Structure 1
Amino acid sequence: MPRLARPAALIFLVLLAGCVSAPRGPVWQTQPPPPSSPYVADPGRDDATIAEMRAAPPPAAPELASGRNPAGDQNRLAAQGFVRVGTARYSGTDADVRAEADRQGRAVGADRVLLYAPQATGATTVADWNAAFFVRFKLPFGATFRDLTAAERANLGGDGVQIGSVVGGTPASRANLLAGDFVVQVNGRPVTGRSAFQEQLKALGGRAVTLTVVRNGETLQRVVRLGVVASPSAQ
């Protein structure tokens, strides 16, 4: 009997060791955090620039509204002087998303926040909400502009800038400046590039100036009554 008991005892000890080493109860695994949806500022829309360029002090809370079409909404608001300063993506319920968008809007001093609900496109469902943050800017000129290429300078026979987008209701818009126009002179003085044009706008802020513009090969004169330019980056 003792000889038979030893193997049995060994088997019992092995089984007991296995029971001790085996985990008891459910095994809890750390779940990955939900995907973050950080706020992303648009280029050139840092806090200092927003504070300097905004048309009025930030509101106590931004106006939240449902967006329809991002590009169309941006163009519509641009005509009212609103500039998009950043975007964000959120997950959660309508109430949660609105609360987070409101918090972020207050943080950046947004005047308006447009929210775009998740949508199904064919077999694909976009699960995240999208948000666009807008601030009403002082737009003393009201148009973007860029340096000329070498080919454009050769074609014009000199330097200047080319007008990009024109914001409705601004001095540039009221002077009938159009996207694609080349500005070659300000009050008869040559425009030597984007930086120089910015400085000219700044120095002449609040006055009526005459721009010499080349449009489709034709030279035109456009009188623009500038607002007060807050900084060289103002457009």
Structure 2
Amino acid sequence: MSAQAPLALLCLPCAGASASMYLRWRRLVPSWVRIVPVELPGRGARMGEAFVEDFDALVARICTEQAEAMRGDFALFGHSMGALLAHGVTRRLQSLYRPLPRALLVSGSAAPSRRDPERFDGGEDDASLIAELRKQGGTPEEVFASEELMRITLDTLRADRRVCRSHVHVGGGAPLPLPVHAFAGRQDDIEALAMAAWSKETGGTFTLDWFEGGHFFLRQHETAFLAALARRLPTPLHQAHFHAPLQAHQGQI
């Protein structure tokens, strides 16, 4: 598999979700990209495990568990909570003097320095969480219609809100020596300046691509988003004869 896809793209899920949100990307990205959906404890294939509700502890777990996938040519992607985790993993790798990703790609999340500390202070009762899911718009109707799926989703979202609440931004560190590429929805409630502040995290290239849509613009405009993602990914260091099957029209960005 690695001979066919020299760049591993580790994908971290948003709050309330599992690694399955990225499975379909495997057949939609260029052939030189190997999608590695990262499953967090307590969901999906790891549902029998306890949630990790502390940000730093979860970052440390990811760095340990994904050590094999983060050997060689790799990049990190995360959406919303996943973006914060991807950034946290990159910073931890840097502090441990481990190899860094070729690029950090973040979506639907304010930069760590611009996060609203009160964003996750709302209620964690079922009704409040369901209202949040409805507002964000990324949950299929089948989930709302199923008592079992709703319970799994709410329990996961509740744990992930605690992860986000426990995130503490530590300023003053050296910029990351790698490109940072951000993606955002024009109708999301994250301010443009909060997205642009990701530029402060890197001493290298920074880009910010905008799409029509809300918090889940990457689903609403999946084809255009994946085309933009592919353009931002670093070319594999040992690319030989790889041809991208993704012939996506650009759409509005």
TM-score bracket relative to the smaller structure: under 0.3
Structure with the greater relative contact order (CA < 8 A, sep ≥ 6): 1 or 2?
2
Larger radius of gyration: 1
Structure with the larger helix share: 2
TM-score if structure 1 supplies the norm length?
A: 0.22
